[in-house]
Structure 1
Amino acid sequence: MDILTEALSSMRTGQPTSVRTEGRAPWGLRLPPVAGAGFHVVLYGTCWLVPLEDAPGAEPIALSPGDVVFLRDGRGHILADHPATPAEAERPDQYRPGSPIGMVTLGGDGPRTSLLCGNYHLDQGRPHPLVRQLPAVIHLPTRHGRHPELSAAVQLLGTELEKPRIGSAGIVPALIDSLLLYILRAWFEDQPPAAAAGWAAALGDSAVAPALTAIHEAPAAPWTVESLAGRAGLSRAAFARRFSTLVGEPPMAYLTRWRLTTAATLLRESEAPLTAVAARTGYGSEYAFAKAFKREYGQPPGSYRRTARAA
């Protein structure tokens, strides 16, 4: 069971959007906050990511070719050839055709920088704790042999965007969609075992990881702390402490969260009747399921399904 993939899938509310940004020094682009998570890939040249004033203590980040930046909550920021360069807001007349995705061009006649910029539409109102525990900004340099799979994805994107050919219109969105998993996998694998905490440690923990896998594989099973502790090979008390420390909530709270998250996905993406959704998520009756769902989501399952389908 791939918990990272499932966690992200449970938060997705649409396909990623992206644009290619072409700047020639001096250039600066002010990007407003977006719903979801933002990302930038440096395809050519260098630039700086400058946090806005509402991020106290954050320092500008120098970006080199191949670097990837992930912004967990889509916060506003500036991209520029230098931190001191004045930044302008995006304008519709900056967009130019000729690429599998939209293109923004700006700046003067100095050195060129090419980036892929965009955002992943993730439900930040109910973030999975795995995502909530990520740093606000993740910077992943991919030069010098680091993160070979992520580097390969970046190189493929660069090739398709620099020289679009037949099939590029389908290849580029698929690569962008996969990029999110490459980014987060690279970050999790970067965490030193001795320093890893939270979900970075939970996914590799010999006791907690099997329990998480069991919950994700069979959310409808009648799990108890005792039965999950048995999977982990620990006593009930030791398992509960370890799980709560790493995951950030007790085992039964996480089980309930995942059951209702799974139910919300089924309501959005399937025609399964409420009785079937209840059964597939561990509730003995439609009434018990509806009560739990309304407590978590603020509306009955049927109403949630209609609202989600209309969005």
Structure 2
Amino acid sequence: MLGDVIAALRTGRPAAARVARAGPWAQRFAPVPGASGFHVVLAGTCWFRPDDGDPVELRAGDVVFLPDGHGHVLADAPGTPVTSAACDPAAPRPAVEPPAEPTAVTLCGAYELDRAHPLLRHLPAAAVPAGPDLRAAADLLAAEIARPGPGSAALVPALLDALLVYLLRTHLTATSPALRDPVVAIALEHLHRDPAHPWTVASLAAATGLSRAPFARRFTELVGRPPLAYLTWWRMAVAARLLRTTDAPLAAVARRVGYTSEFAFAAAFKRHRGTPPGRFRRESPPGSAPPPDRSGPYPRGS
């Protein structure tokens, strides 16, 4: 399911940087709604200072995940004044020689999302220890950024996507009641695996082994919207990805997401996205290059 979410919601190209720092330092990262970001501490120590919480000390192997672009500061100590403002993505970045003996080496990155997934909304920024899979993905990505070679342009986005899957798996399984609940998790798997199926609340309930009313209450409480409202949201997310990335006719896109009528699909898409599918496609033509740098405040390498 997490792979489906990433494929459907991520737009543009993810960005990442390996950053080495020494001496007193504090970097401000402004809030970026609609983006998910992360920091992985590869070596040394530093402090994560969220805008809405207490400072947290990070050591090698710790990971901070920011599901919805939360504002924060990364620093060498809890009280160090901010020494550099958040990066302006449009401004040129001068080359910076990394320190010979850094006190902290971090891997940071950002993903631009088309729409925040309901399970990501209102999740707090969190620092978590990196498990072996997450750390292995981070090490591979850091090495590829530090020593790029043939194929790096293809490898880095793929590794970033893999890292995001591990981040979501770690964060959501620890914080999301929906994914920890076996009934709701089964229902979500069904909806993601076959969004074109004519699902009803009754058929979803039967697939999970519950009766209709208890299932609907449980799903709505844990996901934040009723089952069929979530299904419509997911269908429109899949349709948006197909419109952005393929030249499939609108009728074919409609069938892929469960609409037998192109007219009904177009009406639902406009109601959900605020623009007709044809215009949406024209504004996001298949194969179009991503913006030059939509990584928000997350810096490139230093």
Task: Check whether TM > 0.5.
Answer: yes
2:209 aligned residue: 233
Q: Which amino acid aligns with 2:109?
A: G
Mapped contact 1:64–1:141 kept (Cα < 8 A)? no
Task: Tell whether 2:137 aligns with 1:153.
Answer: yes
Deviation at 1:138, TM superposition (A): 2.0
The equivalent residue for 1:279 is: 255
Q: Are 1:71 and 1:137, in contact at CA under 8 Å, matched by a contact in 2?
A: yes
| 1:26 to partner: Cα distance | 1.3
Alignment of 1:113-192 (within 5 A): 113-123=104-114, 126-133=115-122, 135-142=123-130, 147-161=131-145, 171-190=155-174
Structure 1 CA distance for aligned equivalents of residues 189 and 270 of structure 2: 26
Residues in 2 aligned to 1:186 and 1:105: alpha-carbon distance in whole angstroms: 34
| Superposed CA RMSD | 2.6
Q: Which deviates more from structure 2 when the two are superposed, residues 171-180 or residues 114-123?
A: 171-180
How far off its partner does 1:287 sit?
1.2
Change (3 A) 1:150 1:19: same
Residue 214 of structure 1 and its aligned partner are, at CA, apart by: 2.1
Q: What is the CA-CA distance between 1:155 and the residue it aligns to? A: 3.1
- Is the contact between residue 20 and residue 102 of structure 2 (CA under 8 Å) also seen in structure 1? no
CA contact (8 A) 1:22 1:105 kept: no
- Asked if the contact 1:37–1:122 (Cα under 8 Å) also holds between the matched residues in 2, the reply is yes
What is the Cα deviation at residue 293 of structure 1?
1.0
* 2:42 alignment partner, SS class: strand
Q: 1:208 to 1:273 in 2, by over 3 A?
A: same
CA contact (8 A) 2:68 2:120 kept: no
Q: Does the CA contact (< 8 Å) of 2:6 and 2:161 recur in 1?
A: no
1:1-311 equivalences under 5 Å are 3-34=1-32, 36-52=35-51, 55=52, 58-87=53-82, 88-89=84-85, 90=87, 95-96=94-95, 112-123=103-114, 126-133=115-122, 135-142=123-130, 147-161=131-145, 171-190=155-174, 197=177, 199-202=178-181, 205=182, 207-309=183-285
Q: 1:111 to 1:214 in 2, by over 3 A?
A: closer
Residue by residue, what CA displacement relative to the aligned partner does 1:220-258 show, whole Å, maximum 9, x if unpaired? 222211111221122111221222122221111111111
TM-score w.r.t. length of structure 2: 0.83
Question: Structure 1 residues 60 and 291, CA, compared in 2 at 3 Å: closer, same or farther?
Answer: same
* Aligned residue pairs, count: 282
CA spacing shift, 1:277–1:86, aligned 2, 3 Å: same
Deviates more, 1:85-94 or 1:114-123: 85-94
Larger displacement relative to structure 2 (169-178 or 221-230): 169-178
Structure 1 gaps of 5+ residues are: 97-103
Identity of aligned pairs, percent?
A: 50
Contact kept in structure 2, 1:215 and 1:255, CA below 8 Å: yes
Separation of aligned partners in 1, 2:243 and 2:154? 28
| Deviation (angstroms), 1:33 | 2.9
Distance 1:105 1:136 in 2: 34
Q: Hey, what's the Cα distance between the residues in 2 that align with 1:171 and 1:273?
A: 31
Higher RCO, Cα 8 Å, sep 6+: 2
Deviations 1:86-136 (A, max 9, x none): 22224878743xxxxxxx5688x985211112211112xx31112225x22
1:27 offset after TM fit, Å?
1.5
Q: Cα 1:47–1:229, aligned 2, differ >3 Å: closer, same or farther?
A: same
SS at match of 2:127: strand
Contact 1:25 1:110 in 2 (8 A): no
Deviation per CA, 1:190-224, whole angstroms, max 9, x where unpaired? 45xxxx62x2324xx1x333322222222222221
